[in-house]
Amino acid sequence: MNKSHFSKIIAGTMSWGVWGKNFNPNEMQRIIETTVDLGISSFDHADIYGGYTTESAFGMAFSKTGISRSSVQFITKCGIQLVTPNRSNEIKHYDCSKAYIMSSAEASLKYLQTDYIDVF
């Protein structure tokens, strides 16, 4: 993959949701549009951000922007299992099994409302 494909600055989304700024859908849409207008086209995610809620909020907001998916890059990751009301985990742990990675990738595709992830 061509490294110039990604913007020189990558927008981290960890604090966009309930773990920080708690942007509402309109605010998240505006921050995505502003970020892209500034020339930052790469967005970093993780399945755990916002207690497993930020990818979905971002996906909904991005779908309203009118920005072409091919003009931005989505990066996401997985492996950490948090104890949260959104999951049945009883203890914080890491899961790097093939089954978990595959299910996390499928969930990220769904939540980000995209056909592909640029880097996983």
Structural domains in the chain (count): 1
**CA quadruple 102, 93, 21, 8: dihedral sign:** negative
Which domain range does residue 26 map to? 3-112
Give the residue numbers marked as catalytic: 49
117 is a domain residue: no
Predicted TM-score (pTM) of this structure: 0.90
pLDDT at position 1, please? 39
pLDDT at position 72, please? 98
120 is a domain residue: no
pLDDT at position 82, please? 81
17 is a domain residue: yes
48 is a domain residue: yes
- Tokens for 53? 């809620």
63 is a domain residue: yes
**Per-residue confidence in pLDDT tens, the chain, 120 aa:** 344 589 999 999 999 999 999 999 999 999 999 999 999 999 999 999 999 999 999 999 999 999 999 999 999 999 888 877 777 777 777 889 999 999 999 999 999 999 999 999
Residues 40 and 11 sit within 8 Å (Cβ to Cβ): yes
118 is a domain residue: no
56 is a domain residue: yes
CA distances from 6 to 60, 63, 120 (A): 22, 20, 14
